[in-house]
Amino acid sequence: MDKLIIRGGHSLNGEIEISGAKNAALPELCAALLTDQEVVLRNVPKLQDVSTMLKLIRNMGVTCAHEEDGTVRLNAGALNKPEAPYEMVKTMRASVLALGPLLARFGQARVSLPGGCAIGSRPVDQHIKGLQAMGAQINVEHGYMVASLVNGRTRLKGARIATDMVTVTGTENFLMAAALAEGETILENAAQEPEIPDLAEMLIRMGAKIEGHGTSRIHIQGVEKLHGCEHAVVADRIEAGTFLCAVAATGGDVVLKHARGDHLDAVIEKLRDAGATIEVGAGFVRVKALGRMKAQSFRTTEYPGFPTDMQAQFMALNCIAEGTSKVTETIFENRFMHVNELVRLGANIQIDGKVSVVQGVKQLSGATVMATDLRASASLVIAGLVAEGETVVDRIYHLDRGYDRMEAKLRKVGAQIERAK
């Protein structure tokens, strides 16, 4: 099992290229299931979750190849097995994204209930309710969602879907399913994360009729058939935010190429309040940090609020910032599992339910720590970059699920970090 060895105390200076977003690439790979023509995706990151998704759709009969430059070519013309088995998706919750496209195009699907990081409940009941409103019959049997069309229908039907909560993967599933449904679908309380309009733009290139994407109310007019397209995956805002926090913690001056500052408004505002200087331009974000940052309290919420996927990384910064901060997690109930590992490095953190109180310390000290989930891994890397001495981050297979060669990118800007078996 791989681990990272970090020798802290070095500022970061130079340029980092931000990869395509995992949370956009995964639904867009599933969107290729909606057509029998070739789909070309560019800027697809080399991640474990992407490899798992490609393996899954190959198992369905899709031909696909991930090229060195990040291009993926897919053709689902010969898809003959509309199934996502547990053995292939047990580590990845995004498997649920296959449900809508398979049901829309083939009228049936058998998809395992999803796995992924152990950060809390991620119920699929909203997916099931929405697709049932579109005319699907879905039963949960032996850990699988078994779906089919009812009453002799050959296509899903348009519907008004108002979810009980904002759900990103639910919005994505409904978007893909509605693109081939009969009639109009209206999504109320839709997620607004940048990955949603990116998926919608891809579907529009395939011939879908969608309006309102990027807002909480999306209209989709179903069409009978979608065609192939070429599409570039949007830059990963969470990867960019992670490196912003790393530079703010260590000090330095780094330009993030391809980063979208307009997708990181809440994080950038907090970093500026903390004392970092951030310049946002077309196709880049530049961060400069000098001296100790000031602690910042924040509360996670749906986009455009402070993202839950940036909570752990910003907490790592707060650990060595001046002052006391309160971090309130409202999205996932188990997303403070990194706290005990940060405490092993010398952080002063107290948890009270959904709130962590962080008293900044002047110095962390290196130790061996264990990653518990994807974003927790990133927080431990940031803490290791500023800690005195050597930090070993174990179980980094979590990190590889969502960061494309993080250690190589950090090494390029001056970090003392290496991967070991």
DSSP state of 354: T
Other beta carbons within 10 angstroms of residue 398's beta carbon come to 23
Q: Tell me the CA distances in angstroms from 277 to 144, 182, 325, one per residue in order.
A: 49, 51, 20
Distance between CA atoms of 287 and 264, rounded to whole angstroms? 13
Q: How far apart are CA 99 and CA 362, in angstroms?
A: 49
CB 35 within 8 A of CB 276: no
Q: State how far the alpha carbon of 338 is from the alpha carbons of 106, 214, 295, 316, in Å.
A: 42, 31, 18, 9
Residue type (1 letter), 308: T
Region for residue 183 given its phi and psi (left: phi exceeds 0; alpha: psi -120 to 50; beta: otherwise): left
Q: Which tokens belong to 54?
A: 């490609």
Task: Give me the residues paired with residue 93 across strands.
Answer: none
- Cα–Cα distance for residue pair 407/322, rounded to 1 Å: 27
Residue 117 known to be catalytic: yes
Place of tokens 């733009």: 201
Query: What DSSP string runs through 103-120?
Result: HHHHSEEEEEPP---SSS
Give the integer Cα–Cα distance in Å for 396 and 4: 7
117, 229, 245, 319: the active-site residue: 117
- CA distance linking residue 72 with residue 66, whole number of Å: 4
Sole residue written with tokens 């009270």: 352
Q: Which residues are catalytic?
A: 117
